[in-house]
Structure 1
């Protein structure tokens, strides 16, 4: 009678005894980790003992909460931009993406939000304005004639002007957005109308015409409707001098870090949440600085 073969047998290989096992998938060697490297881009030191810090998402500013109960603002390269006093016991900070809001937390869990801004030096020479030329407060609005939100901001600014007829002027600056194909021709048309002393009439006519698309024909109709000398208007509309004035406004917008319309500044300070009350408070703050 044949004997049953054992499932496991002994094998002698190279002078060693091994036990044969059921086959298993071959294991791959562990992958080597990628080589890690780094480069120090810059180094600088804060003037106060840091308790917390945060950097804006655009990488341009660093906010350091110091043990001296101040938040020290620095450019990313280390230059001091300013400082904000905070309540003793503040232990943590955070900021909005562009650094326009500062959030504070103290050891007792009390939360505080601060609206902060840096005044921009905006060149408004030659720009059309409403109000008295020597008014101590200048409200600058960067606008686009095809932007539906821009047409709604003018009544807000008119209300502000009524509240402050002696101390405020409203300055209009052009920032036609690339997404609006007729915004740039409309801006040049408004500049051409300004040469004939009718900027604000053209301003209103262009915003009204924007409801129908603001084609070149619409722009010419608006110009004729406010009584412009059409021969002079058409010459100025496409002149290099007009384009140069528009380029000046757009350069000012870039320097002021304007990335949308409408954007409003009060004496160079950006208005983050435009409303009559918010703007009025900023106006009063500016006037208090001049006393």
Structure 2
């Protein structure tokens, strides 16, 4: 799995990130979602590297083998702004001052924050299976609260960690056949680690706290994504069912916008890697 990629730990001061990177050419940063690690891209990243891209695949702070700072009362240590800052610093460390970024699930919010906070560095944004947090909350109704109940349960103190760690395998029900054996083993080890579980839950707590406020401040100030933006969503997941046309939701955030559905369940990089590779290569001009 990613055997041709360099696998290293990079000390960024506040955190140390595990990162796998390989290939040569224009840079693309791939950001995983919950509860995955960078290994979720193991069927996509090598193909992008072979197509002539420098591909960077980190574990976000607190996820997988990356460290996380202690929780703060406002959960800002796990904010998308903090995670985006990590990844911008990581790309500088690896020699990539300008790059495209693709983020899936929770990584989608980090990718958006990178494009807003580091506008001069992000050449292209790919948002996969997500809409901005503030947009989801503004549309929250009984259907959304029922489908995304975990957003609100994870916001409670202590209980989510206790519930998950009582039986992580039952909680996450990771599908080894779908994920691949090595990816499955890596993610399973992560979700059995209490420090990782705490950081992942803090990610959600930050979403309902500082993250939505950062997005609302952007909207009030008229800040939008300057780079070309591609939105991909899984046709067998519930994003379009809950929110309607995802492109309509994203349109106020990005003027240069395109996108389409992928025939897949939620974890599209694992379930439909060929379609994801095709979409990313077309968007990135490779």
Q: TM-score, normalised by structure 2?
A: 0.26
Question: Larger strand proportion, structure 1 or 2?
Answer: 1
Considering Cα pairs closer than 8 Å and 6+ residues apart, tell me whether 1 or 2 has the greater RCO: 2
Question: Larger helix proportion, structure 1 or 2?
Answer: 2
Bigger radius of gyration? 1
Q: TM-score, normalised by structure 1?
A: 0.26
